[in-house]
Amino acid sequence: MSKAPHNKEMSHDAPSTGPDSAKPGLDSLAPADDSHQPLAKPTSPGKQPTAPGSLKAPNTHNAKIDALETFRKGSENFPLTTNQGTRIADDQNALRAGTRGPTLLEDFILREKITHFDHERIPERIVHARGSAAHGYFQPYRDMSDITKADFLRFPEQLTPVFVRFSTVQGSAGSADTVRDIRGWATKFYTQEGVFDLVGNNTPVFFIQDAHKFPDFVHAVKPEPHNDIPQGQSAHDTFWDYVSLQPETLHNVIWAMSDRGIPRSYRTMEGFGIHTFRFINAEDQATFVRFHWKPVAGKASLLWDEAQKLAGRDPDFHRRDLWEAIEAGDFPEYELGVQLIPEEDEFKFDFDLLDATKLIPEELVPVELIGKMVLNRNPDNFFAETEQVAFHPGHIVPGIDFTNDPLLQGRLFSYTDTQISRLGGPNFHEIPINRPLCPYHNFQRQGMHRIDIDTNPANYEPNSINDNWPRETPPSPHRGGFKSYQERIEGHKVRERSPSFGEYYSQPRLFWNSQTPVEQQHIIAAFSFELSKVARAYIRERVVDHLVHIDVSLANSVAENLGITLSDEKMHTAPPKDVNGLKKDASLSLYAIPNGTVKGRQVALLVSDGAVAADVLAILQELGAHGVHARLLAAHMGQIHADDGSTLPIDGTFSSLPSLTFDAVIVPDGNIDSLLLSGDARYFLLEAYKHLKVIALSGDARRFKAQFALSDHEREEGIIEDSKAEGVLMSEFLSAMAAHRIWSRSQKAQSVPA
């Protein structure tokens, strides 16, 4: 690197920057002894990454898919040193004058260690502070060049590395995963033409239309300013005060109050780019596009009671699920979808495409699935990767462009600005997780924490000293320079919203009407819960007054729960107009269209000494064959003794791994007496029953039916029973589990106190 060529070929090969490329120069300065070599050959020099290339034939690009390898360092078999490489002889004691005397200022080892520690925190993200992330790759299904010239969407054989960070919005970095909130979904595509960040959420709309309102909205939803309560939740006065005064928020609010606000896992969430973007093809033709992520595992959510309990029993529930799924080889998969709208159709809708509080119903514009993303590797270091990753909707590549959505336009300023304060300067793009995988060269080379050592003698352009390198690339159909779409703009300078943004109730109504009856009940319960936490009665009433304009029955049910009586006039409020004549759109519901597979789900087996080994084995084999994870739970850790004398290792206890953390439960045959006597085991099953989970009872375990107020002869959907596990019991169990929950039990389950 010290004598790097002036990059005259403008190549798209491996980056010429980075610590490794600097090595030759540094090596010549290295001491002759081996003081910087491992003491012995490292046995595991850091975690070996899973190479996405091994899943599909690699191409030249895929060879660079794990570019972080350049920066990863393990420390096995290396001596402990200071940051300057000086070997440390004693890391237990500070240097002091006499064993009982004062510590000496001279102790550079102590000073360096404590100083570094003192600065180990960076400001957490102002929103989306709590997140977890994973590496993976994206692969397009077809050549999209008729619509976009974006290189990463042109070659079905080409894998593009990605890094995805999922997050909650409101809570701080240490808050619980399962709170009711919107989830952030930010994807960094390391394309050969530069980094493309798709920074979206798990809802297709946002709360506000204009970026200018964002600070007020965020202040309102964050904990209250006087006492910093509540953490990670919207159930408080300032949020609902804001909502009641800003009806444009209602659409995203009803999504947040639906089961979308409490996803089962990051694997079972949909994602959305929200704003309308533009695709640009090689002929400079533009097509409007809205981005979607569709989870291959299907869509699924928690129940509110589960979500609240999990916030205490396992605050890392989503983080752990993502991590464990990847470690187990159940790589989360998502299909990238696009809704494409020709430019000439811009004004065909009852809403404005530039309004981020409106979605485009899939019934009107179907989603075309154009590729798949697979998350197949956990980060090595939470801070270096998940915390330091810097997303920005303005990180964009040729073939994709912005529109005049006023929310998007404001975001384009905010993200760089926030990274500069969060990551300590303008060189955050040099942090390994943020570096483009294609070469990048320009004349910006100073500022805090500069890592690259630019050798070009000219740091300006035009220059003749270095033959004007690095030079601009003219736009061209492929691999050209970025050229903004030439949209004709005309207008007065105004602080004014377009009247086409002015309708707030039709889309929330479409959402409400599209839900299954159970989902509608959940929405009523969520509004009722949240508003019951609002101390000021007039705020509760104002919100209900808005709900009246969405749907009178929704408003009335919430009002009843809050002890509010709606006037006759309100009860006869006319509904808003249908959206382009549409009354329902099944895609807006989580469960209207059956979806998903059982692969990757978690099942608990409750056992005790005397469990029938053949039964347990049959269950484990059948679950394993369908990619379902089983855990054996007992009253104690260690092992239990099965009926045939064999021992079964236990994964957790009935209380340490509560039913909340499982999708379904099976009680195998054998020694049910002791389980029936265990309060923890009975609580486990009752709670699973309350949460509408599939329960299978084999052999003697059928005695548990009495717990669910069922006689020996009564059958109930979702309680799968047989004399043994082998055969029909397991096939019925698996097909019942595919529907996520036993919705028909909803009414009866309400009487369960667990």
Backbone angles phi, psi at 72, to 5 degrees: -75, 135
- The minimum distance between CB 144 and ligand HDE, in angstroms, equals 22
Q: Which is nearer to ligand HDE, 260 or 411 (CB)?
A: 411
- Interaction pattern, residues 238-277, with ligand HDE; x per rule: CB under 6 A: ------------------------------------x---
| 379 sits near ligand HDE (criterion: CB under 6 A) | no
| 388 sits near ligand HDE (criterion: CB under 6 A) | no
Nearest to 256 by CA among 332, 312, 307: 307
Based on the residue annotation, tell me whether 36 is a catalytic residue of this protein. no
Would you tell me how many other CB atoms lie within 10 Å of the CB of residue 484?
11
| 440 sits near ligand HDE (criterion: CB under 6 A) | no
- The minimum distance between CB 294 and ligand HDE, in angstroms, equals 17
Select from 289, 338, 407, 613 the one that contacts ligand HDE (CB under 6 A).
407
Q: What angle do CA 175, 527, 186 make, to 5 degrees?
A: 45
Nearest to 335 by CA among 364, 374, 361, 363: 374
Nearest to 302 by CA among 293, 292, 314: 314
| 165 sits near ligand HDE (criterion: CB under 6 A) | yes
> How far, in Å, CA of 382 to CA of 385, rounded?
6
> How far, in Å, CA of 639 to CA of 641, rounded?
7
Q: Which is nearer to ligand HDE, 190 or 733 (CB)?
A: 190
Catalytic residue among 61, 62, 128, 549: 128
Enter the tokens of residue 256.
């947040």
- The minimum distance between CB 354 and ligand HDE, in angstroms, equals 13
Q: Which is nearer to ligand HDE, 357 or 661 (CB)?
A: 357
Backbone angles phi, psi at 185, to 5 degrees: -145, 95
Would you tell me how many other CB atoms lie within 10 Å of the CB of residue 648?
20
Select from 128, 222, 429, 741 the one that contacts ligand HDE (CB under 6 A).
128
> How far, in Å, CA of 298 to CA of 600, rounded?
11
Based on the residue annotation, tell me whether 128 is a catalytic residue of this protein. yes
- Is the separation of the CB atoms in 664 and 694 below 8 Å? yes
Backbone angles phi, psi at 291, to 5 degrees: -95, 145
What is the DSSP track for 199-221?
EEESSSS-S-S-GGGHHHHHHHH
Nearest residue to ligand HDE, scored by beta-carbon proximity:
184
Q: Which is nearer to ligand HDE, 433 or 603 (CB)?
A: 433
- The minimum distance between CB 668 and ligand HDE, in angstroms, equals 42
Strands 664-667, 639-641: pairing kind: unpaired
Stretch near ligand HDE under the rule CB under 6 A, chosen from 49-57, 123-131, 360-368, 581-589: 123-131
Select from 18, 131, 371, 596 the one that contacts ligand HDE (CB under 6 A).
131
Q: What angle do CA 297, 298, 300 make, to 5 degrees?
A: 115
- The minimum distance between CB 391 and ligand HDE, in angstroms, equals 4
Stretch near ligand HDE under the rule CB under 6 A, chosen from 42-50, 120-128, 452-460, 564-572: 120-128
Select from 70, 172, 381, 418 the one that contacts ligand HDE (CB under 6 A).
418
3-state helix, strand, coil in the chain (%, to 5): 35, 15, 50
Cα-based distances in Å from 167 to 143, 251, 386, 679, 728: 31, 21, 10, 36, 41
What beta strand segments (E) does 568-642 contain? 602-606, 629-634, 639-641
By CB under 6 A, the count of residues binding ligand HDE is 26
- The minimum distance between CB 447 and ligand HDE, in angstroms, equals 18
- The minimum distance between CB 248 and ligand HDE, in angstroms, equals 13
- The minimum distance between CB 341 and ligand HDE, in angstroms, equals 18
Catalytic residue among 62, 135, 201, 429: 201
- Is the separation of the CB atoms in 178 and 311 below 8 Å? yes
- Interaction pattern, residues 58-97, with ligand HDE; x per rule: CB under 6 A: ----------------------------------------
What beta strand segments (E) does 383-445 contain? 400-401
| 126 sits near ligand HDE (criterion: CB under 6 A) | yes
- Interaction pattern, residues 174-213, with ligand HDE; x per rule: CB under 6 A: ----------xxx------------xxx----x----x--
- Is the separation of the CB atoms in 302 and 262 below 8 Å? yes
Q: Which is nearer to ligand HDE, 396 or 660 (CB)?
A: 396
Which residue(s) pair with 295 in the sheet? Answer: 334
Query: Binding residues for ligand HDE, per CB under 6 A?
Result: 125-128, 131, 165, 167, 184-186, 199-201, 206, 211, 214, 274, 356, 391, 407, 410-411, 414-415, 418-419
Q: Which residues are catalytic?
A: 128, 201
